[in-house]
Amino acid sequence: MAKKKELTKDEKKVAAAVSKERLRRISQTRRHYLRTNARVLKYGAKSFARNTWLSIAAIAIMAVTLIVLSVTIIATHALGTTVSKIEQQIDMSIYIKQDTSSDQIDRVIGRMTQLKTVLEVKKSSPEEQNIAAIKRLIESAKITDPDYIQSLYEAPNKMSWVLNVKLVSLDDTSELENFVDNDESMAGLIDENRPPSYATSRRETIDHIAAMMRRVELIGLIAAGVFALIAILVVFNTIRMAIYNRKEEIYMMRLVGASRWFIVGPFVVEAAFYGIIAALLTGAAVYIGTFALRSSFVSTLDPTIEIMTNYWYLTFSALILSGIIIGVVSSLLATRKYLHQK
């Protein structure tokens, strides 16, 4: 029996280099790539099913985070819609002297409509103002005596011209104020007894709602940030425990030359499952809750519900993406720290 020839040191180095190159080529093939990812998904799903209670805890805290974030966005949009509706109902009133001619009024309106911040200008003559005021008085005081009503219409008219100006934004009245104070077409026309109304009770309502909207948005974002941090910590610890339970298996995989993705991938997939399930639960809860509140806040929630209904796929996609990001970031932090320690 022939004795097996032993390889020299140089021949062993060449053989090792050939084997390493062959292994590299195999790992770069499409078939190997697909098989590796399929195994990563399979092991990730098994790990998710294996850690049932830890998975439930991670999903629950991620769902709370996404719910807080969703409620913040919905509340901000609903309040913003309310502010826009109120703004559309408000105009600025500019009072012009009664003896001003109609031609002068039309000239002022023509120049005023050229302002960038002005959407629309409507005029109301002293006669129209007088009739409207008498009708309001008759209605509020419930006057029925025809002679008294006739005397009201025959009384001297002391009303002014009124220009009702709608602005692009009620927060920007500076251009209109500058026009009223300095434009040559307005010289000597302002009724001194009734200065322009740049602030009304409705304006105060808008400012109040806008301030509340900013507070809701800030509080919601802070709460969402806090819960997101808690979710990351919970998922981080969940993945750390899963790594600890599989430390011997991971050690053997590293010894036989398993790639970093093959080791880390299953934990990333497991955390992504947490995010996907939490997002689906959040989406269902948010839609059910919003539609349940619709009857109580019809005018406020209807525009938001319309967007949620027409673009439901974008809503769920955003939730799923947010959940996956939280899960993946947590798992990468956990696996990176563990592998770095080893």
Are 78 and 224 within one domain? Answer: yes
Mean pLDDT score of the chain: 78
Please state, in angstroms and rounded to a whole number, the distance separating the CA atoms of residues 340 and 86: 58
Are 168 and 276 within one domain? Answer: no
Please state, in angstroms and rounded to a whole number, the distance separating the CA atoms of residues 83 and 205: 9
pLDDT at residue 200 greater than cutoff 60: no
Question: How would residue 1 be classed by pLDDT, with cut points 50, 70 and 90?
Answer: very low
In this predicted structure, what is the pLDDT of residue 21?
Answer: 59
Are 312 and 233 within one domain? Answer: yes
Query: Which residue has better confidence, 323 or 243?
Result: 323
* Count of C-beta atoms within a 10 Å radius of residue 118: 18
In this predicted structure, what is the pLDDT of residue 299?
Answer: 64
Please state, in angstroms and rounded to a whole number, the distance separating the CA atoms of residues 107 and 103: 6
279 belongs to a structural domain: yes
Are 135 and 223 within one domain? Answer: no
In this predicted structure, what is the pLDDT of residue 337?
Answer: 63
Are 106 and 247 within one domain? Answer: no
In this predicted structure, what is the pLDDT of residue 341?
Answer: 52
Helix (H) or strand (E) holding 119: strand 118-124
What b-and-e string marks burial along 235-251, b requiring 16 or more CB atoms within 10 Å of the CB?
A: bbebbbebbeebeeebe
Q: What tokens were used for 162? A: 């009124």
Domains identified in the chain, total number: 2
Per-residue pLDDT of 150-166, as tens digits, reads 888 888 878 888 888 88
Are 213 and 184 within one domain? Answer: no
38 belongs to a structural domain: no
5 belongs to a structural domain: no
49 belongs to a structural domain: yes
In this predicted structure, what is the pLDDT of residue 281?
Answer: 92
Are 143 and 239 within one domain? Answer: no
Phi, psi dihedrals of residue 158, rounded to the nearest 5°: -115, 15
In this predicted structure, what is the pLDDT of residue 166?
Answer: 85
Per-residue pLDDT of 113-133, as tens digits, reads 888 888 888 898 888 888 888
Q: Residue 98 gets which letter from DSSP?
A: T
299 belongs to a structural domain: yes
Q: Domain ends where: 175, 199, 223?
A: 199
Phi, psi dihedrals of residue 125, rounded to the nearest 5°: -75, 165
Q: Domain ends where: 199, 215, 237?
A: 199
20 belongs to a structural domain: no
Whose tokens are 């036989």? That residue is 256
Per-residue pLDDT of 258-317, as tens digits, reads 677 777 888 888 888 888 999 999 999 988 888 887 776 656 777 888 888 888 889 899
Are 176 and 155 within one domain? Answer: yes
pLDDT at residue 7 greater than cutoff 80: no
Contact 290, 305 (CB under 8 A): yes
* Lowest-pLDDT choice from 201-205, 312-316, 333-337: 201-205
23 belongs to a structural domain: no
Q: Which domain holds residue 337?
A: 43-84+207-341
Half-sphere exposure of 148 (CA within 13 A, CB side): 8
Are 117 and 173 within one domain? Answer: yes
Are 242 and 313 within one domain? Answer: yes
Are 157 and 214 within one domain? Answer: no
Are 66 and 152 within one domain? Answer: no
21 belongs to a structural domain: no
In this predicted structure, what is the pLDDT of residue 72?
Answer: 82
Per-residue pLDDT of 15-30, as tens digits, reads 666 565 565 565 555 5
Per cent of the chain over pLDDT 90 is 4
Q: Domain ends where: 157, 173, 199?
A: 199
What CATH number is given to the structural domain containing 121?
3.30.70.3040
Of 196, 195, 219, the closest CA to residue 72 belongs to 219
